[in-house]
Chain A
Amino acid sequence: GENVEQHPSTLSVQEGDSAVIKCTYSDSASNYFPWYKQELGKGPQLIIDIRSNVGEKKDQRIAVTLNKTAKHFSLHITETQPEDSAVYFCAATLNFNKFYFGSGTKLNVKP
């Protein structure tokens, strides 16, 4: 089955700086890659996603890039704010019926 690895496990940045979280996947057939944000005491919420026919997608301060050849994808957060502090998960799927998750990155944005 698919295996998704995520790095780093923790990330601390100063408010206003950029943050980058990287994931690699093993199954070249995977074709959909969502990112989830989990705030303290809450369930993960979908924040952005990308499909295999697209190389980059942006939504305001967050963007995701996909390199199919290298089988890795990344989440980029610019102009970080304290409310961006959370745990972020990447995931991959090839049929939308079952998702494989990375181990999570705890992002701390220092004011």
Chain B
Amino acid sequence: DVKVTQSSRYLVKRTGEKVFLECVQDMDHENMFWYRQDPGLGLRLIYFSYDVKMKEKGDIPEGYSVSREKKERFSLILESASTNQTSMYLCASSYQGGNYGYTFGSGTRLTVV
């Protein structure tokens, strides 16, 4: 069964901490994405990557960075966590120019206190 795996389901971090959210996919997908999901706001794109070592800003990149050193792994980094970054974070992947939608991970619910 193909999968997108997010390393943590729940995380609690302190304000100012550096936070790493990890995502791994086993489908050999070129594209990987990070979204945050907040009530009433739907899914908002933070960063995405079409290839190894390549990244592009989404709609809300402020306060975040990403790393993609290997094709299967895409990391989201909160440089200095703040309470307004408390949210559900979803990773997704897809084939480049493919004919299908995303495959999503199960999400990481991050609470910053």
- How many A-B pairs fall under 8 Å by CB? 59
Task: State which size class the interface on B falls in.
Answer: 20 to 34
Q: Are A96 and B42 in contact (CB under 8 A)?
A: no
- The residue on B at minimum CB distance from A6 is B42
Q: Are B104 and A9 in contact (CB under 8 A)?
A: no
Q: Are A96 and B99 in contact (CB under 8 A)?
A: yes
- Does A95 make an interface contact (CB < 8 A)? yes
Q: Are A96 and B100 in contact (CB under 8 A)?
A: yes
Q: Which of B63-71, B75-83, B90-98 interfaces with chain A?
A: B90-98
Chain A positions 93 through 110: 1 when the CB is less than 8 Å from some CB of chain B, otherwise 0: 001111101111000000
Q: Beyond A41-B106, A96-B100, A104-B42: 12 further Cβ-contacts under 8 Å?
A: A43-B106, A43-B107, A44-B102, A46-B101, A46-B102, A96-B99, A97-B31, A97-B96, A97-B97, A99-B101, A99-B102, A101-B43
* 26 A-B residue pairs with CB within 8 Å: A9-B40, A32-B99, A34-B101, A36-B104, A42-B107, A43-B4, A43-B92, A43-B104, A43-B105, A43-B106, A44-B43, A44-B102, A49-B100, A89-B42, A95-B97, A96-B94, A96-B96, A96-B98, A96-B99, A96-B100, A97-B96, A98-B45, A99-B101, A102-B42, A103-B41, A104-B43
